[in-house]
Amino acid sequence: MKDQEEISRLWTLLNLAKNGEAEAFAEIYKNYFTPVYRYIRLRVNNNADAEDLTQKVFLRLFQSRGEIRNQNQPPLAYLFAAARNAVIDFFRLNRHEVGREPAAAEQSDYFDPDAFDRQEKIAAVFQALEILSADQQTVISQRFINELSYAEIAALLGKNEPAVRQIASRALRLLSRHLSKDYE
């Protein structure tokens, strides 16, 4: 039920934004910047590029707001499709694949072994994500980082929900095998 309420709310905001209400667009930006940024950040090399691409996604949304139609898809599918296209364009323009780098721990004179251990585990997960296909990475990041439902991810990828569940299952098995080797 919560998913349906969220979808309805976002469509309402998009319709208000289509009619020129700046406050509605500002609310969309405020509420959905972080999930779009996270999606992009997992794919590009640094925070500055991720921030720039996220801004471009929302600029494109604003510029095309009159063309958006409710086609029985979650509105977030539009945002993530635009984010995916922005990342593809970014790599095409740069003509090289930029690897991921986990956010660096804050520098300090104090050494915290627990924080170091957490950073190593985060780095291992980011490295393990690289063994997954593009669809698997998308499904895992959308499901567990952006907390999208399988239905929303299916709409984003243009696949049916059982196919997305199977992609997730296979990706989790691969990650589990890969990460268990690192900690044996």
- What is the per-residue DSSP string for 101-114? -PPPPPP-SS--HH
Angle between helices 134-144 and 150-157 (to 10 degrees): 150
Grade residue 118 by pLDDT with cuts at 50, 70 and 90. low
Taken as a whole, the chain contains a residue count of 184
Q: CA 109 to CA 124: how far, in whole Å?
A: 24
Q: pLDDT tens digit string along 64-73? A: 766 666 555 6
Q: Are 130 and 43 in contact (CB under 8 A)?
A: no
**Residue 127 burial (CB count, 10 A):** 15
For the domain spanning 1-100, the CATH number is 1.10.1740.10
For the domain spanning 109-184, the CATH number is 1.10.10.10
Domain layout of the chain by residue ranges: 1-100, 109-184
Q: Are 76 and 154 in contact (CB under 8 A)?
A: no
Q: pLDDT tens digit string along 8-61? A: 777 788 788 777 788 888 888 888 888 888 888 878 878 889 899 999 998 888
Q: CA 153 to CA 141: how far, in whole Å?
A: 10
Q: CA 168 to CA 181: how far, in whole Å?
A: 20
